[in-house]
Amino acid sequence: MAELSTLPELGATYGMPLARAFMAAVFLYSGQDKLRHWREGVEEVAGLGLPMPRLSAAATIAVQIVAGLSVLLGIGTAVGAAFLALFTAAATVLGHRFWLLRGKQAQQELTTSLEHLAIIGGLLLLIVCTL
């Protein structure tokens, strides 16, 4: 078992790369899934009422993959995490409007929004820890 004095060193060695990988995973998965299922991704964006659904879907994929790789690889982590945080905030406001719903659907969308808020918090921690 590691001595307590080595825990900060272990955290710096393994903790940050793991945190980056965990934060990037959701975006990299989503980006490649939208790319593989292009038509459905465009329909999802169109359903949100965003202008130019194809361009919006392409921009979504680009942000998720490029910024996700940035965070995963630790290259420009703060910038990549900032893009992902802003993207997540916008996607939450546009796609999970729990305040317009009632009942179980409102509760599900609120839960998803709170999960996204936690992701934004993790991304903010990455930004602060890498500046």
Q: What is the pLDDT of residue 58?
A: 97
Q: What does pLDDT average to in each consecutive run of 10 residues of the chain (131 residues)?
A: 66 86 97 97 92 95 98 97 97 92 94 96 95 87
- Average pLDDT of every residue of the chain: 93
Domain assignment present for residue 62? The answer is: yes
Structure confidence at residue 14 (pLDDT): 87
Give yes or no for a contact between 119 and 23, defined as CB atoms under 8 angstroms apart.
yes
On whether residue 99 sits in a domain, the answer given is: yes
Task: Let me know if residue 4 belongs to a domain.
Answer: no
Tell me which residue range forms the domain holding 62.
Answer: 13-130
Residue 37: what are its φ and ψ, rounded to 5°? Answer: -120, 55
